[in-house]
Structure 1
Amino acid sequence: MDQGKIDGLLQASLSVFGNPLMVLGADFSLYSLASTTPLPREYRVFEQGKERMDYINAFTQDSVFMAHKECPEPFWTPDYITGHKAVVQNIRREDRTTHYLAVMEYKNVLGEECEDLLKILEGYIRYFLYNKVSGIYRRDETLPRIFLRILSDRTMDYMEASQNLSGLGWQGSHEYMCLVYKITYLDQRNISANAICSYMEEHFRHCCCFSYQDDIVTFFDLTLLDLDEDKVAGKLTHFIRDSFLKAGYSRVMKGHLNLRRQYIQACLALDVGSRKKPYMWIHHFNQIAMTYILEQVTRKLPGNMLCHEKLLTLKEMDERGSTEYMKTLKTYLDCHQNAVKSAKELYIHRSTFLYRLDKIKEILESDLEDTEELLYLELSFRLLEQDRQRS
């Protein structure tokens, strides 16, 4: 499509409508804007800027707008979102809205007669949109194509992918991080993935954001950004919350060979974190790694069939009496085998603690000196706790 023809149509229509006109994509990206005079900032709400996502979120949560999102007839948007009224005509193809044509109430009061005029103008714009589409703006898809192939094609040549990334400036010596978004209260139709990707790439020049398997994936070249993971996460905290997203972050890793694994880490952070702490918006892989390990270990056998066998004996003795062997042993392990500190934590005399510890060693048939056994015991406590939480 010739961009100039739509610009020309809007410019020619200004004298008819007497107010600014614009064409938006379904993702609220501004495609064309016409006005007789430069518009104040508050009327340029869909231009790239910090407030753009705030307006998009407001529209996609507004019941009036969403009720008319697929309507073939013109409709009025309320003024409580942007501060001014507008009449919108959906531009549709195959019974689906792909663009919006809008006239904003600026210097002249809008009347009902503009609805019919807007429908006529929509027909011309639709013709140019769908009959000559080659000129429609698209952001560079080279980088997303490479990452999509890395994620989806397990047979791909990773050396070739690495060379392609290096050719675009994403070097093998750089550090990378992956972020996966899951849309919570709003589905893909309500808040477009394209709008989120545009926001990400506007605020992080050296990132690549794209849709993949119902999620939105972003890879960051932290070296080119000259940012660490905490600064990236800090810049996105309010955006994630205000956009009703949930986010999973991978670890930071160097080079290209682990990019797919970083994506898996981010997905796991999102999955495990959302199940364990559903009230949180943001999850990091490092925070869920131990939980993930325990879940994988117990996929075929429950924790009580994997834990230290003698630990079950201690547990049974505690249940029969008031020995508190389990609590004593766990405190001892948590205190790094420090008897004085352990006794203090348990509020008992040191001699009482040592007597109890000797009984525990006798039951375990262990001197509690072997590092592998100590690790096994600590893991066993985690496994039994997981069993308790599941029951």
Structure 2
Amino acid sequence: MNLSLSLLKEQLASLVKDVNIGISGSLLHLPHPVFFAGQSCLVSHTLYIAAAEKLSPDLTFMPASALICIGDPPPNCFNDDLDLLVIAATTDIFVLSNAIHEIYDIYERWDSNLQTCIRDKNSLQQLVDISEHIFGNGISIMNTDFYMIAHSTLNGLYDSLELHLDSSGRLPIEQVNLFKNDTVYNEIKNEKNVFIYPSDVLPFRTLCKNIFLNDTFLFRITVLETAQPFNDSDTQILEYLSHYLVQNSDYLSTFHRSKNSQLATLLQNILSGNAYNQTAFEKEVQQMGWRPNNTYCVVHIQPSSQDIYHTTTTYFCNVIMQDFRQTFAFSHDQSIRVIINMDHLDEPREAYFIRFNRMVKEGNFRVGFSNYFEGLNLLKEYFRESEIALEVGTRIHPTKWTHKFCDTVLPYMFNQITAELPGRLLSSPILLQLQAYDLKNHTDYVHTLQIFLKNNRNAVQTAKDLFIHRATIVYRLERIKEIGETDLKNCDDLLHLNLSFELICLATN
């Protein structure tokens, strides 16, 4: 493995007196050093070790050459083409050479272990384990679903961060929300180079590298500045590690988590109206212990724009399935869909939904619930119920987090009724006649009829609500019957009148 002069400077810090390092000094381009043997010119990409007295004042240098000199070299060595380390004159050249070769050996063993790990398709955890001593700081790998899929335990790193990862490596929801709402985090999601994430969200500076497979983000390698300050060479070493990964797509593909299990794929086909294997669907459901006669509820969760940008929907699908038993959650059309088996809950329904709604609020989601139903034969229609609940409920009550279909079904029906014709053209002729009479004669028969119907045709209660005498209400009702040409007993007429008043309210609102 080739090293940089900057890295050697860090490893030999106690011996270094002076430096002259340019851009090439940070590149991993130098193989094992050679002893200077009186050459007149130092060649590119070669590291020489020499005693100062052996160097000629006429020595020349090719670009990107490098020299470690024991003692003060001639002035011409401080040259833009030469990267230079000046070592204390008392240093034995063979002791220095051995120290340098030991440094190379350390990195070459690491390089060999990396090759073996990737060739054998070993876990990312093993990748972290063999690499943490190279960086001298804790390393972690977080995937697109905000799961810490590999991390070191150097210096109790994760205890000090108080991340409280669960057994599967999941970050807590509040930490995920902190990330996805952070402006700096938003800016670095698609960064291709190594970058420093400042200590605004995490209590430490963090060196990061995003890993992509065919432009699809897979995971982020992070090195946290906990045990020792970052070295200049850490960036190059992290780039070197990532280069190994991206050059081995077969290895990376083993960590490309499929966002759709077989059941999720079947459900997506059902929702999209595509053909699907009914037998395979029934088998998948049966394996979960769900039966055709069970009672179910489906949920439509609309993530925030930050969740869509950061692709955290799969993370929250996993959260839901881990924290709420007897649920299946999957992503579909930039939303989260959930099926809940109401018969198999291990807690009362009320307690279940209190916890579920708390999770909804913590995630900054908006949610629609379908009605309860038996069996999964009309699953597409019940998922549409949950969509309608969210669409209509959000329009009527924009500040609410959750909406039930049973609370939104009437507004939805009236929206459907008026989709082709305006509400006035659909109104009862009885109501239209009363409206025309009121307008011409300055009476209030429409309002009287509305209150009468609201009170289930109870004249006594209507008189009380209108603050009029019982005899007055009797008179008004008779006039309403005459003007509207109705006996106010026909079921179709009464239904049409009630719908007409609802259409008036809808138009008013």
Give TM-score, length-normalised by structure 2: 0.70
Residue deviations 1:21-60 (CA, integer Å, cap 9, x gap): 1111122122211223554445363834896121111111
Task: Provide the rounded CA distance (Å) in 1 between the counterparts of 2:216 and 2:262.
Answer: 28
Farther-moved stretch of structure 1 (46-55 vs 208-217): 46-55
Asked if 1 retains the 8 angstrom alpha-carbon contact of 2:213 and 2:249, the reply is no
2:392 aligned partner: 272
SS in 2 for 1:256: coil
Q: Distance in 2 between matches of 1:132 and 1:50?
A: 21
Name the SS for the 2:464 alignment partner. Answer: helix
- Given residue 239 of structure 1, which amino acid in structure 2 is its aligned partner? M
Structure 1 residues 153-172: aligned runs within 5 Å: 153=273, 156=276, 158=278, 161-172=281-292
Q: For the structure 1 residues 155 and 118, does the alpha-carbon distance in structure 2 shift closer, same or farther, using more than 3 Å as the test?
A: closer
User: Residue in 2 aligned with 1:47?
Assistant: 165
| Greater Cα shift, 135-144 or 362-371 | 135-144
Q: Which amino acid aligns with 2:310?
A: N
Of 361, 367, 378 in structure 2, the residue corresponding to residue 247 of structure 1 is 367
- Over the residues paired in the alignment, what is the CA RMSD in angstroms? 2.7
2-side partners of 1:124 and 1:279: how far apart? 49
1:263 is paired with a residue of what secondary structure? Answer: helix
Whichever of the two has the greater Rg, that structure is 2
Q: Does 1:358 align with 2:483?
A: no
Within the candidate set 183, 196, 202, 2:303 is matched to: 183
Give the conservation status (yes or no) of the 8 Å contact 1:3–1:136.
no
Residues 268-292 of structure 1: per-residue CA shift (max 9 Å, x gap): 1122222232232221111110011
The alignment status of 1:303 with 2:427, answered yes or no, reads: no
Task: Name the structure 1 match of 2:108.
Answer: none
Unaligned runs of 5+ in 2: 1-117
Displacement of 1:18 in angstroms is 1.9
| Post-superposition offset of 1:258 | 2.2
Matching residue's letter, 2:375: G
Q: Does residue 10 of structure 1 match 2:96?
A: no
Match of 1:19 among 137, 157, 182: 137
The equivalent residue for 1:341 is 461
Deviation at 1:180, TM superposition (A): 1.0
Tell me the equivalent position of 1:320: 440
3-state secondary structure, aligned to 2:486: coil
The amino acid across from 2:400 in the alignment is M
Hey, what does 2:106 align to over in structure 1? none
Q: Which of 483, 490, 504 matches 1:370?
A: 490
In 2: Cα distance, 1:163 partner to 1:251 partner:
25
Deviation at 1:192, TM superposition (A): 1.8
Alpha-carbon distance in structure 2 between the residues aligned to 1:291 and 1:5: 54
- Alpha-carbon distance in 1 for matches of 2:249, 2:128: 14
2:329 paired residue number: 209
**Aligned equivalents of 2:152 and 2:248: distance in 1?**
17
Flag structure 1 segments of 5+ consecutive residues without an equivalent: none
> Residues 7 and 32 of structure 1 are in contact (CA less than 8 Å); yes or no, is this contact kept in structure 2?
yes
Distance 1:206 1:165, change over 3 A: same
Give the deviation of 1:137 after TM superposition.
5.6
Task: Give the alignment's TM-score, normalised by structure 1.
Answer: 0.89
The offset of 1:136, in angstroms, is: 5.5
Amino acid of the structure 1 residue aligned with 2:326: H
Cα–Cα, structure 1 residues 35 and 167, in superposed 2: closer, same or farther, change >3 Å? Answer: closer
Closer/same/farther in 2, CA of residues 171 and 219 from structure 1, 3 Å limit = same
Task: Give the C-alpha shift of residue 160 in structure 1.
Answer: 6.1
